[in-house]
Amino acid sequence: MMKNTGLKYVGNGSIRGVPAHDLTVEEVEKYGGEEYLLSLPVKLYEKPMANKVLYGGKENKEVNK
């Protein structure tokens, strides 16, 4: 089951007090809000893409059945 992700962790560094993992909507608010977290000088998070599917390590690759 997929958790409700508010922001996706992209792991380009760290800042003390901010978790190094995908954040739920509730965690986004707890750690300063989406606008604040996306504006940090170190890029830690991005908005998750809707309907993003991974197959064989490739993003957005369609599979014909």
Query: Which pLDDT does position 51 carry in this prediction?
Result: 54
Which helix (H) or strand (E) covers residue 31, if one does? none
* Mean pLDDT per 10-residue segment, the chain (65 residues): 75 85 94 93 86 51 52
Q: How far apart are CA 46 and CA 49, in angstroms?
A: 9
Q: How far apart are CA 35 and CA 8, in angstroms?
A: 14
Nearest in space to 23 (alpha carbons), one of 12, 34, 36, 13: 34
Query: Which pLDDT does position 41 carry in this prediction?
Result: 87
Query: Which pLDDT does position 62 carry in this prediction?
Result: 53
* Tokens found for residue 23: 């954040």
